[in-house]
């Protein structure tokens, strides 16, 4: 029974790290399989190259005849690199990436064949889209969805396939993917931020959102992972007692990387280099077998593509090294979970980071403008931000005393807090020359270019300012960054539009000078958004109480959190910005509720199976051993056998009690599922799964874990936490 566990352990112990050849410099490998600028120059006509550049810079459509030139150049390049197939590569709302490969190969009659890839095939494809989630946008009889080339993210070759980053939309043009709304939000924030940046520098004509994600993950040996049905099917453990030693000693964080893992990382990084993913840092994370990978930040759309691609590659490279990557936010109870910090900023085409303090008072006023507007945007939309990171798996992490709480707040550090406190006192109306000089010299002028407490020090904040960027830390490790990035860029776009309106109006109606007007509006924003600022310990109970007093939301579970996706303010905002229409928003809400239901349902089934098919039979086996033992004792000791079998009898009793609790728990859980399944409305059903089904997980698990501690290790069938986390 326990043979699989011991076989897996034996296999794991015999593994050796793979040899990784790293003779070539990374700078030389970088982007080798990417249809990059320099490749385009080589393989495209001047006209075609210009047209891609223009599409990139201004979003201008690419002419069909030119698309033919581009596709021909792309094909030549791809074939020269050994590619045989092409695919539109897109990110449907399933949470992974999708591709359907077609060969370049085509017959032309008379037994002849050529390699062909036309502009039409580059620009648009029609995959059979009926099996992707669509939340009712596409009626099943109208199973048409289109993928369309996104020229702002370069094509790349993976294996022998040319991959063309694409959007995925229904025949009515509604977004069925993550990328489409993101691109729209990025356009909105570009426009809004450019308009505001022009207050400070007329030469700015484009603002890009930048994103640097940090991907946390666990690596588990594949044999060990396969020996656990829960890891195999749910990507996390549904039961398992904490090992005697976990992460208490903090000896894993930043410690030396185990050699098999290091080989994996080097292999992975090589693949990343070839694909132009600029990965830079790797290190151990807090928990045993937990690691992190982070790139140099990039334009947000590209960074999102790169993260999706990376997650895919990570799993494939892991196969080679006999590892399984767990992206789940909480694969092990009682041990740190995984997140995906989203570092975000805005940068101009003149090369200025708008969230980086500058060397002059004017530059700092620009910095403060974007800084305060972002805080205001987060303040006004905290519940929406929370909604964008909601998922069944992230629910196990948020608020679990080690990850940011389900409350959104911003941490800005003491230096900037002082600056905002000063700015709050700025005179209402026109500022006197003396006040302005004072402000410039002693407040705005005092912000150093490099903030001393630019600090990662407060790791408990869900949305922290870290010196020259904001870091959205509550994002889950399985998430597609597009969702939080769509929301964040949209709310900042809306905020900047409002800001500009207010400043312009003060200038026009109150005849204020521009910087007076800016100071006036910022002062009000500081006052209005104070509630979202929190410098203390975000994990503490006091903060929960304080946040409630401040009226901040604290939506602890996904169905609750998702409500904010479909409230009137959200729909209005997205509609006005052109990011999503009501149909698209409702569809997403529906899809996420369904996803939630499915996840909880699947986990509930797995837990029931493991507990009934693995745990209870093992418990009975062990109980029988004890019973035999007691019988034997009775034979030998006759009258005082009770004295000698006292402990055994206790254990026998305890096993029976726990079996009873587990089995009746499963029966009740199944009943709760049946009841939930009868509900038609997706939201009601999600709440039923959340409130009536999920609570059984804990009780069932509790008794299973107690049995794990009680039962003979030799016959325990499930690979233990200690083995999963510490075998290398
Ligand atoms: P750490 O937080 O570990 O001290 P950094 O602050 O250098 O490290 O950066 C963490 C992440 O933030 C990296 O992925 C980095 O690329 C990203 N990052 C740095 N600057 C920006 C920026 N202006 N916009 C977006 N991401 C950024
Ligand atoms: Mg970080």
> Is the shortest distance between the CB of 456 and ligand 1 below 6 Å?
yes
Residue-wise DSSP of 432-478? PHHHHHHIIIIIGGGS-SS-TT--S--TT-SEEE-SSSEEE---BTT
Q: What is the mean pLDDT of residues 142-151?
A: 80
Beta carbons within 10 angstroms of residue 614's beta carbon: 19
Q: Return phi, psi of residue 177, to 5°.
A: -135, -175
CB 574 within 8 A of CB 490: yes
Tell me, in angstroms, the distance from the centre of ligand 2 to residue 292's CA: 10
> Is the shortest distance between the CB of 73 and ligand 1 below 6 Å?
no
Tell me, in angstroms, the distance from the centre of ligand 2 to residue 269's CA: 19
Whether 518 and 637 share a structural domain: no
Helix ranges, 510-581 (H) = 514-528, 541-550, 558-562, 568-577
> Is the shortest distance between the CB of 553 and ligand 1 below 6 Å?
no
Whether 573 and 602 share a structural domain: no
Best residue for ligand 1 mutational test, from 212, 413, 450, 456 (most atoms within 8 Å of Cβ)? 212
pLDDT over 90 at 11, yes or no: yes
Q: Predicted confidence band at 123 (pLDDT cuts at 50, 70, 90)?
A: confident
Model pLDDT for residues 33-78, shown as the tens digit of each residue: 999 999 999 999 999 999 988 888 877 788 888 899 999 999 999 9
Whether 143 and 267 share a structural domain: no
The SS3 call for residue 144 is strand
Whether 634 and 526 share a structural domain: no
CB 707 within 8 A of CB 615: yes
SS (H, E, C) 612-669: HHHHHHHHHHHHHHHHHHHHHHHHHHHHHHHHHCHHHHHHHHHHHHHHHHHHHHHHHH
Tell me, in angstroms, the distance from the centre of ligand 2 to residue 466's CA: 9
Question: Which residue, among 558, 532, 482, 527, has the nearest Cα to 209 in the 3D structure?
Answer: 482
> Is the shortest distance between the CB of 211 and ligand 1 below 6 Å?
yes
SS (H, E, C) 295-329: ECCEEHHHHHHHHHHHHHHHHHHHHHCCEEEECCC
Average pLDDT, the chain: 92
Q: Which atom of ligand 1 is nearest to the CA of 356?
A: 23
Task: Point out the least confidently predicted range of 154-163, 426-435, 487-496.
Answer: 426-435
Task: State the CATH number of the domain containing residue 315.
Answer: 3.30.590.10
pLDDT over 60 at 140, yes or no: no
- pLDDT the model gives residue 483: 97
Q: What is the mean pLDDT of residues 674-697?
A: 97
Tell me, in angstroms, the distance from the centre of ligand 2 to residue 694's CA: 31
CB 26 within 8 A of CB 273: yes
The SS3 call for residue 294 is strand
Name which residue sits closest to atom 3 of ligand 1, judged by CA.
Answer: 456
The bound ligand whose nearest atom lies closest to the alpha carbon of 464 is 2
Tell me, in angstroms, the distance from the centre of ligand 1 to residue 317's CA: 25
Question: Tokens standing for 503?
Answer: 């400043």
- pLDDT the model gives residue 252: 63
Model pLDDT for residues 709-720, shown as the tens digit of each residue: 999 999 999 999
In-domain check, residue 440: yes
Tell me, in angstroms, the distance from the centre of ligand 1 to residue 60's CA: 31
In-domain check, residue 221: yes
Whether 206 and 165 share a structural domain: no
**By percentage, how much of the chain surpasses pLDDT 70?**
95
Q: How far apart are CA 493 and CA 499, in angstroms?
A: 10
Q: What is the mean pLDDT of residues 500-504?
A: 98
Eight-class DSSP state of 540: S
Model pLDDT for residues 455-472, shown as the tens digit of each residue: 556 778 899 999 999 999
**By percentage, how much of the chain surpasses pLDDT 90?**
75
- pLDDT the model gives residue 283: 84
Tell me, in angstroms, the distance from the centre of ligand 2 to residue 333's CA: 23
CB 219 within 8 A of CB 291: yes
Helix ranges, 109-153 (H) = 119-123
pLDDT over 80 at 454, yes or no: no
Model pLDDT for residues 236-256, shown as the tens digit of each residue: 999 999 887 766 656 666 667
> Is the shortest distance between the CB of 294 and ligand 1 below 6 Å?
yes
In-domain check, residue 614: yes
Whether 224 and 147 share a structural domain: no
- pLDDT the model gives residue 539: 86
pLDDT over 50 at 170, yes or no: yes
pLDDT over 90 at 177, yes or no: yes
- Please measure the distance between the N-terminal and C-terminal CA atoms of the chain and give it in whole angstroms: 24
Q: Return phi, psi of residue 473, to 5°.
A: -95, -10
Tell me, in angstroms, the distance from the centre of ligand 1 to residue 116's CA: 42
Whether 212 and 72 share a structural domain: no
Q: Predicted confidence band at 124 (pLDDT cuts at 50, 70, 90)?
A: confident
In-domain check, residue 606: yes
Residue-number span of the structural domain to which 83 is assigned: 31-175
Domain boundary among 580, 615, 640: 580
Residue carrying the six token digits 């109870």? 333
In-domain check, residue 585: no
Q: Predicted confidence band at 269 (pLDDT cuts at 50, 70, 90)?
A: very high
Whether 665 and 541 share a structural domain: no
Domain boundary among 175, 207, 223: 175
Whether 573 and 600 share a structural domain: no
Domain boundary among 517, 552, 580: 580
Q: Which residues pair with 299 in a beta bridge?
A: 210
Tell me, in angstroms, the distance from the centre of ligand 1 to residue 187's CA: 22
> Is the shortest distance between the CB of 226 and ligand 1 below 6 Å?
no
Residue positions counted in the chain:
728
> Is the shortest distance between the CB of 616 and ligand 1 below 6 Å?
no
pLDDT over 90 at 134, yes or no: no
Task: State the CATH number of the domain containing residue 152.
Answer: 3.10.20.70
How far out from the chain centre does Cα 709 lie?
35
Whether 259 and 397 share a structural domain: yes
Q: Return phi, psi of residue 157, to 5°.
A: -110, 125
Total domain count, the chain? 3
Q: What is the mean pLDDT of residues 129-157?
A: 75
Whether 576 and 599 share a structural domain: no
Best residue for ligand 1 mutational test, from 283, 343, 452, 456 (most atoms within 8 Å of Cβ)? 343
Q: Which residues pair with 439 in a beta bridge?
A: none
Q: How far apart are CA 547 and CA 626, in angstroms?
A: 53
> Is the shortest distance between the CB of 344 and ligand 1 below 6 Å?
yes
Q: What is the mean pLDDT of residues 542-554?
A: 94
Q: Which residues pair with 88 in a beta bridge?
A: 164
Whether 440 and 480 share a structural domain: yes
> Is the shortest distance between the CB of 214 and ligand 1 below 6 Å?
yes
Q: How far apart are CA 462 and CA 703, in angstroms?
A: 34
Q: Predicted confidence band at 4 (pLDDT cuts at 50, 70, 90)?
A: very high
The bound ligand whose nearest atom lies closest to the alpha carbon of 295 is 1
> Is the shortest distance between the CB of 521 and ligand 1 below 6 Å?
no
Name which residue sits closest to atom 2 of ligand 1, judged by CA.
Answer: 456
């Amino acid at each position: 029974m326990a043979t699989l566990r011991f076989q897996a352990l034996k296999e794991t112990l015999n593994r050796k790290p793979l040899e990784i050849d790293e003779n070539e410099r990374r700078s030389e490998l970088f982007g080798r399989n990417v249809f990059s600028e320099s490749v385009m120059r080589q393989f495209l006509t001047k006209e075609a190259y210009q047209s891609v550049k223009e599409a990139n810079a201004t979003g201008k459509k690419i002419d069909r005849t030119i698309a033919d030139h581009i596709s021909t150049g792309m094909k030549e390049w791809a074939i020269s690199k050994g590619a045989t197939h092409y695919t539109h590569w897109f990110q449907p709302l399933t949470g992974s990436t999708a591709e359907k490969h077609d060969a370049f190969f085509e017959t032309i009659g008379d037994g002849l064949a050529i390699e062909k890839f036309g502009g039409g095939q580059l620009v648009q494809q029609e995959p059979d889209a009926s099996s992707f989630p669509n939340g009712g946008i596409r009626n099943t009889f109208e199973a048409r969805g289109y993928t369309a080339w996104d020229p702002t993210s370069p094509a790349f070759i993976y294996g022998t396939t040319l991959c063309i980053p694409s959007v995925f939309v229904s025949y009515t043009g509604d977004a069925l993917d993550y990328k489409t709304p993101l691109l729209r939000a990025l356009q909105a924030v570009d426009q809004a931020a450019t308009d505001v940046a022009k207050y400070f520098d007329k030469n700015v004509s484009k603002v890009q959102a930048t994103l640097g994600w940090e991907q946390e993950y666990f690596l588990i040996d594949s044999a060990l992972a396969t020996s656990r049905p829960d890891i195999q099917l749910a990507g996390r453990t549904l039961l398992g007692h904490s090992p005697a030693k976990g992460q208490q000693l903090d000896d894993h964080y930043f410690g030396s990387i185990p050699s098999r893992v290091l080989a994996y990382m080097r292999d992975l990084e090589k693949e990343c280099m070839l694909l132009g993913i600029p990965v830079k840092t790797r290190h151990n994370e807090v928990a045993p077998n937990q690691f992190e990978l982070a790139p140099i930040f990039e334009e947000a759309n590209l960074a999102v593509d790169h993260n999706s691609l990376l997650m895919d590659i990570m799993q494939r490279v892991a196969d080679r090294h006999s590892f399984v990557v767990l992206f789940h936010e909480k694969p092990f109870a009682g041990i740190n979970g995984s997140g995906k910090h989203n570092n975000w900023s805005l940068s101009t085409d003149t090369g200025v980071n708008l969230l980086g303090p500058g060397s002059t008072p004017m530059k700092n006023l620009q910095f403060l403008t974007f800084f305060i507007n972002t805080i205001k945007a987060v303040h006004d939309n905290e519940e929406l931000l929370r909604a964008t990171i909601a998922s069944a798996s992230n629910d196990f992490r948020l608020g679990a005393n080690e990850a940011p709480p389900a409350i959104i707040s911003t941490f800005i550090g003491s230096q900037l807090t002082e600056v905002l406190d000063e700015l709050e006192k700025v005179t209402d109306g026109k500022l006197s020359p003396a006040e302005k000089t004072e402000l410039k010299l002693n407040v705005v002028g005092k912000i150093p270019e490099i903030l001393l407490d630019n600090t990662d020090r407060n790791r408990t904040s869900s949305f922290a300012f870290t010196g020259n960027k904001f870091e959205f830390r509550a994002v889950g490790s399985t998430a597609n960054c597009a969702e939080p990035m769509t929301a964040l860029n949209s709310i900042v776009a809306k905020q900047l539009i409002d800001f500009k309106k207010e400043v312009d109006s003060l200038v026009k109606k109150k005849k204020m000078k521009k910087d007076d007007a800016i100071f006036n509006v910022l002062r009000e924003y500081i006052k209005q958004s104070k509630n979202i600022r929190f410098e203390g310990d975000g994990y503490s109970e006091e903060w929960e109480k304080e946040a409630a007093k401040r009226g901040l939301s604290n939506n602890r579970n996904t169905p609750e959190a998702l409500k904010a996706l479909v409230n009137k303010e959200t729909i209005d905002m997205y509609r006005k910005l052109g990011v999503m229409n009501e149909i698209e928003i409702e569809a997403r809400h529906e899809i996420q509720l369904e996803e939630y239901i499915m996840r909880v349902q699947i986990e509930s089934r797995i837990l029931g199976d493991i507990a009934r098919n693995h745990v209870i039979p093992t418990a009975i086996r062990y109980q029988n051993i004890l019973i035999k033992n007691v019988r034997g004792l009775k034979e030998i000791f006759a009258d005082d056998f009770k004295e000698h079998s006292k402990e055994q009898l206790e254990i026998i009793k305890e096993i029976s009690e726990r079996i009873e609790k587990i089995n009746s728990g499963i029966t009740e859980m199944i009943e709760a599922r049946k009841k939930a399944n009868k509900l038609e409305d997706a939201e009601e059903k999600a709440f039923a799964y959340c409130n009536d089904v999920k609570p059984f997980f804990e009780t069932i698990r509790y008794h299973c874990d107690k049995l794990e501690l009680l039962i003979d290790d030799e016959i325990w069938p499930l690979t233990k936490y200690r083995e999963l986390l510490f075998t290398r």
